[in-house]
Amino acid sequence: MVTTQLDHIRFKEGQRVHWDAISTGWLSVLDTFERGAAVVTARLLELGGVGPGSSVLDVGTGVGEPALAAAVAAGPTGRVVGVDLSPAMVDLARRRSGGMGNVEFLVGDVESLDLPASGFDVVLARWSLMFVPDPAAALRSIAEVLAPGGVLAASTWGPPETVPMLSLGYRVLAGRLDLPAGKPGEPGPFSMSDPEAVARQLTEAGFTDVSITEVEVPFELGSPESYARFTEAVTPARIRERARDLLGAEERSLWADVAAAAAERRRPDGPVPLPSTALCLRATAPTG
């Protein structure tokens, strides 16, 4: 658990280093990920009521999703801002925007957003809040930048066993590399997998009309090897370094094991379906 201010600072710096390090790799597998993730993006835009003229903030935007989708929906009279802790991710998001006039990307921290109070109709957070060391601070910060009665539309992951797109490969890595289990309360992909706990956090931050629904994300990889490449691309640098240290010249066997695990799920015609569960939430900002 991230418990002290110094822990917070160190954790955020670690997150920045991690996402900077994998930014290029993430971009290389982005199409694979977004083919499945598109259903969640569409759901968040629907939950937020994003349309022509909307003012939208996307926190934890990464390389620009769902900010870019929101910019299309908001149109030329709308405004979209994407914020991310990683300068490298923000740089890629700016490049991907292709000069769209209604979207900008900024380096920033969701726990202390340096943006105008009550400046946005909608805040989107697609698979980003789980990595925040102080979710309560992040939700308070989001509430401050939302107009009274504005909407937070966010997604988190379900429990690990329902998200093979991430957990299948990690189980192989954990077994081969003897990785420690995550600590309770520690930020990470599955730290907000309990809908009741998430609803409590939102309510305690002053949000109302909280609703959380499950959405199946239809991830599908072209081959087991494609899944191994995806896993390698998004694996933290510290784990890849551990693999090199422990396995040396045998490191490639690790990714072959990931492919073998995916092969067990392969359909007869070749692709590997990895349907995964997302929790999509909608909450209304305080009105006073």
Residue 154's alpha-carbon distances to 39, 40, 100, 124, 284, in angstroms, are 13, 9, 24, 6, 12
Structural domains for the chain? 5-284 (3.40.50.150)
Q: Are 71 and 53 in contact (CB under 8 A)?
A: no
- Report the first-to-last Cα separation within the chain, whole angstroms: 32
| Residue 79 pLDDT | 98
Q: Are 142 and 123 in contact (CB under 8 A)?
A: yes
| Residue 7 pLDDT | 79
| Residue 10 pLDDT | 86
| Residue 3 pLDDT | 57
Beta carbons within 8 Å of 266's beta carbon, 6+ residues apart: 223, 224, 272
Per-residue pLDDT of the chain (288 residues; tens, 9 = 90+): 455 665 778 888 889 899 999 999 999 999 999 999 999 999 999 999 999 999 999 999 999 999 999 999 999 999 999 999 999 999 999 999 998 999 999 999 999 999 999 999 999 999 999 999 999 999 999 999 999 999 999 999 999 999 999 999 999 999 999 998 777 778 999 999 999 999 999 999 999 999 999 999 999 999 999 999 999 999 998 999 999 999 999 999 999 999 999 999 999 999 999 999 999 999 999 886
pTM of the model: 0.95
Distance CA 104, CA 93 (A): 9
| Residue 5 pLDDT | 66
| Residue 186 pLDDT | 86
| Residue 127 pLDDT | 98
3-state secondary structure the chain: CCCCHHHHHHHHHHHHHHHHHHHHHHHHCHHHHHHHHHHHHHHHHHHHCCCCCCEEEEECCCCCCCHHHHHHHHCCCCEEEEEECCHHHHHHHHHHHCCCCCEEEEECCHHHCCCCCCCEEEEEEECCHHHCCCHHHHHHHHHHHEEEEEEEEEEEECCHHHCHHHHHHHHHHHHHHCCCCCCCCCCCCCCCCCHHHHHHHHHHCCCEEEEEEEEEECCEECCHHHHHHHHHHHCCHHHHHHHHHHHHHHHHHHHHHHHHHHHCCCCCCCCEECCEEEEEEEEECCCC
Tokens, residue 63: 């390389």
Beta carbons within 8 Å of 218's beta carbon, 6+ residues apart: 36, 39, 273, 275
Tokens, residue 263: 């092969």
| Residue 224 pLDDT | 98
Picking from 235, 248, 117, 254, the residue whose alpha carbon sits closest to that of residue 175 is 254
Q: Are 40 and 158 in contact (CB under 8 A)?
A: no
| Residue 176 pLDDT | 95
